[in-house]
Amino acid sequence: MSTPSLLILPGDGIGPEVMAEVRKVIDWFGAKRGASFDVSEDLVGGAAYDAHGTPLHDDTMAHAQEVDAVLLGAVGGPKYDDLDFSVKPERGLLRLRKEMDLFANLRPAQCFDALADFSSLKKDIVAGLDVVIVRELTSGVYFGEPRGIFEEGNERVGINTQRYTESEIDRIARAAFELARKRGNKVCSMEKANVMESGILWREVTQRIHDADYADVELSHMYADNGAMQLVRAPKQFDVILTDNLFGDILSDCAAMLTGSLGMLPSASLGAPMANGRPRALYEPVHGSAPDIAGQGKANPIACILSFAMALRYSFDMGEDATRVETAVEKVLADGMRTSDLLGAEGGKASSTTEMGDAIIAALDASL
């Protein structure tokens, strides 16, 4: 059996710092579990623009298509704010998603018991929260045409087009139903069918797929604005939330803060199976590049480490080891370890990025 291949793209801001801690975990698996990975590293985002004048070099894109999984840190920063839109760092990430056809974005929002008091909501509302948002990632308003800023009479007009085909809705709905079968067997599909034709089609196709092939899964429909309200009112009513690109972007950040910090949450972007049966996949923390703390050792590496755990589960068929990593993170938090984003109003001494990574390695050692 060939060694699984992993392309690491640290990116910008805190990306290289959190990725350094992931490399420790990868090395640990090689040394302590006999699980080797063929790891390569390249540039993306602003780092790629600085080196090549483009946020993603064609050679990097080609390599991403060949490996079993891509692990990305973060892209962007104020240094690149004045660049033309076509070469902004974020375009590198969007190109990866589009050309790898990573249509299913899985964003778990899990509240660890040790952090239940850290959420802005009451502890009884969020304790035990375990929700996954399944967001369509390669279509919708971020990619629809026509788009742009145009002259119209004596003023400019900005246009973005919300567009979905039946087949695009079909495949993301199936991804959500399949995931629900492995969890709580419940899907809530969110759109705006009351005011958007794309929402009407979304609801119709999702219901049809459910009735034909997934009648065993509980399905409900909800308008996305009500969904946002329900996420902060009673989030534990949800198991799998299915939604489109724009609403998924917003709702997943809302769900993220229920857990206490964006620095805690991983994500997986999955596509169609490759020749070896594994899905094309990109894993990344939900948080951004946080340029205000870059280089200061303050970044929380947990989201990036948990993104690697998702890669173990979904790309490398190593579910037991994925759980091992997640349990190590939970133990470190239960022991009181906190990076600066997790200190809250009570303050205290923050652990550095490196100290958090080392503590997780120690917890992994203790798990053997």
Q: Which two tokens stand for residue 228?
A: 């946002």
Q: Which pTM was predicted?
A: 0.86
Contact 33/312 with Cβ under 8 angstroms?
A: no
In the structure encoding, which two tokens stand for residue 25, read together? 């975990």
For residues 194 and 280, membership in a common domain is answered with no
Q: Which of 249, 298, 331, 341 is catalytic?
A: 249
Catalytic, out of 80, 142, 214, 283 = 142
The contacts of residue 230 (CB under 8 Å, 6+ apart) are: 222, 237, 238
Q: Number of C-alpha atoms within 13 angstroms, CB side, residue 75?
A: 25
Sign of the CA dihedral with 105 first, then 64, 60, and 143 last: negative
d(C-alpha 112, C-alpha 336), whole Å:
12
Report helix, strand or coil for 160: strand
Rounded to whole angstroms, the Cα distance separating 56 from 125 reads 42
Q: Which among 258, 285, 318 is the end of a domain?
A: 258
> C-alpha angle 228/215/249, rounded to 5°?
25
| Cα gap 86→71, rounded to integer Å | 23
Contacts 24+ apart (CB under 8 A), 124-129: 125/234, 125/235, 125/236, 126/235, 126/236, 126/258, 126/259, 128/236, 129/235, 129/236, 129/258, 129/259
* Catalytic position from the list 50, 101, 253, 358: 253
- The domain that holds 327 is classified in CATH as 3.40.718.10
Q: Are residues 158 and 242 in the same domain?
A: yes
Q: Are residues 247 and 282 in the same domain?
A: no
| The pLDDT of residue 310 | 94
Residue 347 burial class via C-beta count within 10 angstroms: exposed 0-12, middle 13-18, buried 19 and up: exposed
Residue 161: CB partners within 8 Å, gap ≥ 6?
Answer: 141, 144, 145, 146, 147
Residues 6 or more apart from 335 whose CB is under 8 A from it?
359
Minimal CA–CA distance to 9: which of 35, 48, 52, 65? 48
Distances (CA, A) of 328 to 183, 254, 303, 305, 368: 21, 26, 13, 11, 11
H-run or E-run covering 202: helix 197-213
208 and 355 in a single domain? The answer is: no
50 is known as an active-site residue: no
From 241, 258, 275, the end of a domain falls on 258
Q: Which residue out of 50, 101, 130, 225 is catalytically annotated?
A: 225
Active site residue 27: no
Residue identified by tokens 């502890």 is 123
148 and 116 fall within a common domain = no
Domain boundary among 258, 276, 308: 258
Based on the fold, state whether residues 66 and 89 are members of the same structural domain: yes
Whether residue 121 is found in the same domain as residue 138: no
Dihedral (Cα; 240, 245, 246, 251), 10-degree rounding: 20
Note whether 105 and 224 are same-domain residues: no
pLDDT in tens, the chain (368 residues): 689 999 999 999 999 999 999 999 999 999 999 999 999 999 999 999 999 999 999 999 999 999 999 999 999 999 999 999 999 999 999 899 989 999 999 999 988 888 887 787 888 899 889 999 999 999 999 999 999 999 999 999 999 999 999 999 999 999 999 999 989 999 999 999 999 999 999 999 999 999 999 999 999 999 999 999 999 999 999 999 999 999 999 998 888 878 866 668 899 999 988 878 888 999 999 889 999 999 999 999 999 999 999 999 989 989 999 999 999 999 999 999 999 888 865 566 899 999 999 999 999 999 99
CB 102: neighbour CB atoms within 10 A? 21
Asked if 119 and 134 sit in the same domain, the reply is no
Residue 51: the pLDDT is: 98
Say if residue 38 is in the same domain as residue 53: yes
CB 276 within 8 A of CB 164: no
Q: 172 and 158, same structural domain? A: yes
For residue 249, give its domain range.
Answer: 130-258
Q: What is the DSSP letter of 195?
A: T
pLDDT of residue 127: 87
Query: Which member of 88, 192, 298, 331 is catalytic?
Result: 192
Q: How far is CA 204 from CA 56, 208, 209, 251, 291, in A?
A: 37, 6, 9, 21, 43
Residue 347: the pLDDT is 60
- Torsion, Cα of 219, 229, 199, 265 (10° steps): -80
21 with 52, same domain: the answer is: yes
Number of compact structural domains in the chain? 2
Query: Is 225 noted as a catalytic residue in this protein?
Result: yes
